[in-house]
């Protein structure tokens, strides 16, 4: 038996704890960042709020000092190590932020789902059923639909699926009915249970919903043996039902999206600020630093524990700092590429993909994706999700690059204005787009139409 040695080289990507933490924080919008900081403060006693620095930040006025601080974060060679060395020596470290949040009115009423929970609490449920109800409600999306399988909730709470189904059925009868439904059909049926409707209307939704959704009206008439007038009445009844029950509540009308970034313009120059005025200043506990420095009076096990907590606090503060720096740099790169749009020209939106910004700021595409996903920016021309500025591109009839977002906008306008009794098929939409200067193929129109959730012409036809 002969033993052989073999050498080989391979590349492995190993993330440090700091990189993992930064990646996690980059994904969070501002409201969730506040929660993440609160949780970190609870579990790490070496991390503290710097009360004095937080108070000074709130009292400071916007001005040159704020602008200078933002400019320093744009420097890729910023000396983070030096900064944190100073933090250790001074037993306290804080990060700068936009001093004041914009005056965004918040509704002084319970949220929509909190109102649903208030109804449930008065329904006489047991403590176990109430726990199930809370799990259902907090796994319901903004339209009112349950987004996880009942079996998952049952497994998580160690209860029978039938028990979860029973609580779900009760929730679906709350006001407005249909909350917690798993699909549109179930949502409509839940609403009709509270209404006095003909039996054939219920049967259409319960047994012939696919035919109804696909406008196979003649088949429904034949199978249920009803008249065209009955079907027309059923369509009107079903049309009055709410496919998004959560939108019934007026609190959604008052819902305010809190922007993560704020862009202002003065004399043609755009400034970027992170809207983190509500985030407290942080520092490393002076008590922990002092204890860690007592090498002779503190045993090794305790020193290791103190060092671990202090390092964790340092990494967290640095991650919050770097999150802020990264968001500003990415936003400035977006403005640079989309300057005509920010100057007030909606048609000036240019094709741009994540790779473009990644190359501009020298970061990985996955980082840019985390920064832009679910984040909003307040600009001189309105409030936008960062993802809005990204789209593929193609040539118009003049050979100029145009964003596919503009083409989709034109497609939506064409569909909105069409004769609903004789809707346009994809071939006719190609001609309509060509009249607007967009020369694209029929298969491309079909792809955009599907991406936008616009059904084919047959399904858009109205009686």
Judge if the upstream peptide bond of residue 210 is cis by omega within 30 degrees of 0. no
pLDDT at 121: 79
At residue 407, φ and ψ (nearest 5 deg) are: -65, -40
Answer with the residue of higher pLDDT: 309 or 60: 309
Long-range contact list for 88-93, CB < 8 A, 24+ apart?
88/284, 88/289, 88/314, 91/283, 91/284, 91/285, 91/286, 91/289, 91/290, 92/50, 92/53, 92/283, 92/284, 92/286, 93/50, 93/282, 93/283, 93/284, 93/314, 93/317
- Residue 434 tokens read as 């060509």
Q: Poorest-confidence range of 106-115, 216-225, 335-344, 411-420? A: 106-115
Region 48-72: what's the mean pLDDT?
Answer: 60
pLDDT at 397: 53
Region 246-258: what's the mean pLDDT?
Answer: 55
pLDDT at 8: 58
pLDDT at 335: 94
For the whole model, what pTM was predicted? 0.51
- Residue 370 tokens read as 């985390």
pLDDT at 17: 66
Between CA 278 and CA 69 the distance in angstroms is: 18
pLDDT at 125: 83
Q: What percent of the chain has pLDDT over 70?
A: 79
CB 239 within 8 A of CB 247: no
First to last CA, the chain: 84
Answer with the residue of higher pLDDT: 123 or 230: 230
Reported as a pLDDT band with limits 50, 70 and 90, residue 162 is very high
pLDDT in tens, 316-359: 988 888 999 999 999 999 999 999 889 888 777 888 888 999 99
Between CA 238 and CA 94 the distance in angstroms is: 57
Between CA 330 and CA 349 the distance in angstroms is: 17
Residues paired with residue 181 on neighbouring β-strands, in sequence order = 145
**CATH class assigned to 393-460:** mainly alpha
Q: Indicate if the pLDDT at residue 388 is higher than 70.
A: yes
Q: Poorest-confidence range of 23-37, 118-132, 239-253? A: 239-253
pLDDT in tens, 17-51: 677 777 888 888 887 888 888 888 898 999 998 78
pLDDT at 344: 84
Q: Indicate if the pLDDT at residue 61 is higher than 70.
A: no
Q: Indicate if the pLDDT at residue 254 is higher than 70.
A: no
Reported as a pLDDT band with limits 50, 70 and 90, residue 5 is low
Question: Is residue 174 packed enough to be buried (19+ CB in 10 Å), middle (13-18) or exposed (0-12)?
Answer: buried
- Residue 313 tokens read as 């606090």
pLDDT in tens, 183-233: 999 999 999 987 888 999 999 999 998 888 888 888 999 999 999 899 989
Q: Indicate if the pLDDT at residue 71 is higher than 60.
A: no
For the chain, the domains span 17-99+259-379, 112-248, 393-460
Reported as a pLDDT band with limits 50, 70 and 90, residue 440 is confident
């Amino acid at each position: 038996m002969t033993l052989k040695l073999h050498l080989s080289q391979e590349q492995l990507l190993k993330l440090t704890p700091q990189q993992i933490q930064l990646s996690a924080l980059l994904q969070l919008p501002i409201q969730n960042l506040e929660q993440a900081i609160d949780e970190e403060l609870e579990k790490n006693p070496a991390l503290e709020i710097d009360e004095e620095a937080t108070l000074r930040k709130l009292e400071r006025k916007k001005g040159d000092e704020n602008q200078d601080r933002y400019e320093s974060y744009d420097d890729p060679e910023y000396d983070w190590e030096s900064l944190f060395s100073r933090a250790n020596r001074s037993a306290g470290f804080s990060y700068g932020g936009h001093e004041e949040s914009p005056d965004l009115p918040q509704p002084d009423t319970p949220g929509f789902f909190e109102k649903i929970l208030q109804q449930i609490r008065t329904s006489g449920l047991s403590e176990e059923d109430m726990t199930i109800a809370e799990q259902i409600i907090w796994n319901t999306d903004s339209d009112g639909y349950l987004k996880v399988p009942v079996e998952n909730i049952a497994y998580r709470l160690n209860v029978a699926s039938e028990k979860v189904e029973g609580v779900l059925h009760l929730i679906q009868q709350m006001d407005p009915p249909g909350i917690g439904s798993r699909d549109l059909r179930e949502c409509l049926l839940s609403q009709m249970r509270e209404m006095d409707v003909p039996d054939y209307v219920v049967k259409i939704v319960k047994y012939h919903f696919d035919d109804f959704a696909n406008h196979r009206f003649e088949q429904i008439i034949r199978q249920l043996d009803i008249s065209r007038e009955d079907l027309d009445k059923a369509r009107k009844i079903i049309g009055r039902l709410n496919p998004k029950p959560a939108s019934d509540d007026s609190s959604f009308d008052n819902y305010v999206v809190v922007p993560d970034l704020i862009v202002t313009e003065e004399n043609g120059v755009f400034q970027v600020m992170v809207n983190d005025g509500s985030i407290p200043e942080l520092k490393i506990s002076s008590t922990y630093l002092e204890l860690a420095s007592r090498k002779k009076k503190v045993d090794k096990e305790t020193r290791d524990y103190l060092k671990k907590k202090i390092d964790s606090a340092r990494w967290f503060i640095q991650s919050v700092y770097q999150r802020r720096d990264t968001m500003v740099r990415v936003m400035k790169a977006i403005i640079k590429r989309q300057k005509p749009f920010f100057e007030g020209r909606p048609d000036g939106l240019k094709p741009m993909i994540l790779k473009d910004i990644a190359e501009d700021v020298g970061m990985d595409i996955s980082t840019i994706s985390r920064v832009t996903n679910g984040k909003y920016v307040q600009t001189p021309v309105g409030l936008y999700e960062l993802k809005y500025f990204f789209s593929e591109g193609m040539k118009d009839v003049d050979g100029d690059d145009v964003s596919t977002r503009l083409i989709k906008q034109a497609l939506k306008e064409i569909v909105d204005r069409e004769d609903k009794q004789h809707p346009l098929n994809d071939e006719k939409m190609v001609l309509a787009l060509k009249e607007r200067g967009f020369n694209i193929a029929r298969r491309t129109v079909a792809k955009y139409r599907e991406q936008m959730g616009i059904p084919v012409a047959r399904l858009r036809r109205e009686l």
